[in-house]
Every structure is written in C-alpha cells, then in structure tokens.
A = this chain, B = another copy of it.
Amino acid sequence: MWQLYHFPLCPFSRKVRLALSEKGVAYELKRENPWDASDNFYALNPAGRTPVLHDSERNRTLVDSQAICEYLEETVDKTPLILGTALARAEIRRLVALFDESFFHDVTGPLMHEKMKKRIVLRAAPDSGVLRSAMRLAHEHLDYIDWLIDNHRWLAGAQMSLADFAAAAQISVADYLGGIDWTGHDTAHSWYRVIKSRPSFRSLLTDKMEGIPPASHYADVNA
C-alpha cells in the first residue's frame, strides 16, 4: 500500500491527499516534520520536503506534489483531475501553479512561518506586520477566485479539476491558521463550501497540529 509522508498543515500533502481520495486510491499517512526529518526520509527525498508517496513492497517512491498528481492522473482512470483538451489541461496546470506558488508565497507560507514554525520550532512571537500583509494578499487571491467562479462553475472551467483541489488545499491551511476572511467574497466562499463538504475533505478537517488549535469555524462545513 502507498504511504504518504506528510505533516497535518502541509498544503502540498493536502493537495495529494485530496487527489488520492478523489481517485479512490488507498494509502496510509506517515508523519514527517521537515524541520526535524529522519535519515530514512532524506533517503527517500534528498530535498527533505513533504509530500513523498512511497510503496515499500513495490519499491516505488514519488516526490513533489505535482509529479505525484501527474502520476496518479496517468495511472488511475477514476475521477480525471487534469482533463479536457491540451489547452484546457494547460489552464488547469496554470491555476495549480498559481496556488502552489503565488498563493503559497503570499499567504500560506508566511502564515505557516509566523503561526506554526515560530511556535513549534523557533519559539518566537509572530510578526503582526507579516500576518496583516498575508491577510491582505489573501483578499486579492480570493478576488481572483470570485472572478473565476463568476465566469464558470469551477476554477478552470465547467468541470471540477485539480485546480480546485490545489486552491482548496492552500486555503484550508490558511483558514486553519485564522488567515481567511470571507467578507466580500460570497462567490469564492460558496465554491469553497462545496469543496469542503466533499468526502475527500473530511480527513483534512479532523487533522490537528499539536499545540496549534484551528480557528473556531475551521471544521464546520457550513461556515
């Protein structure tokens, strides 16, 4: 069986968990903190980052969330997530990269540094200026989601795709850390509620990071 090396607030592991669940692929979770990684983990991934998907019985190791999702897409027919024409698939990949890179750089990454890493590893107080900036940039990204959903049902078009799960994975971590304010983003909020109520999302909503309680509304699928 596949084992997914992850930690609860890793947005890239969350993207892979959603893809695995949507595609009905069985897996078990293995906890790995990149800031305190084991030798065994470095042997699997010299870059020392989660997620890593590993199958010891068949000696298969997959590294990098997008490489993993492309592999799942190529090998599992159920629930296509990178679908449509080559041009439609390019649009899905553009949006996945936008959330994996820009949203993470602007919002999720700074929130994780200030509210998770500083508490668990660095034992320092969060910088309120950085937090304010991340929340301001979150509004810009939510504006873009509003605009996309005004134009079609899902982020990349008429069909649900990996773009929706990549975005929701980032937002779910930012939301856990109290960085998402839906005020003025009714359209994006409705879209997120739909994703959040999917069975694939359940295990994300019950996951906790020790010492860091989630925002009060975090696990409420109606909030």
Hey, which bits of chain A sit against chain B, CB under 8 A?
A: 46-47, 60, 62-64, 66-68, 70-71, 74-75, 86-87, 89-90, 93-94, 97-98, 102, 144
Contact = CB atoms under 8 A, between A and B. Distances in A.
Contacts of A47: 98, 102
A47 B95 CA distance: 10
B89 A74 contact: yes
A139 to B, nearest CB: 15
Given A66-B66, A98-B47, A60 B87 contact: yes
A101 to B, nearest CB: 8
- Copies of this chain present in the complex amount to 2
A90 B70 contact: yes
Contacts of A93: 64, 66-67, 70
Given A46-B144, A47-B98, A47-B102, A62 B90 contact: yes
Given A47-B102, A66-B93, A74-B89, 7 more contacts: A47-B98, A60-B87, A63-B94, A64-B94, A66-B66, A66-B97, A70-B70
A47 B102 CA distance: 8
A97 B64 contact: yes
A39 B200 CA distance: 40
Nearest to A92: B67
B86 A71 contact: yes
A34 to B, nearest CB: 13
A62 B144 contact: no
A73 to B, nearest CB: 9
A64 B163 CA distance: 14
Instruction: Report the 10 A-B pairs with minimum CB-CB distance, sorted nearest first.
Output: A67-B93, A64-B97, A71-B90, A63-B94, A74-B86, A67-B94, A67-B90, A64-B94, A75-B86, A62-B90
A97 to B, nearest CB: 4
Nearest to A102: B47
Given A46-B144, A62-B94, A102-B47, A87 B67 contact: no
Among A64, A68, A75, max chain B CB count under 10 A is at A64
A66 B65 CA distance: 13
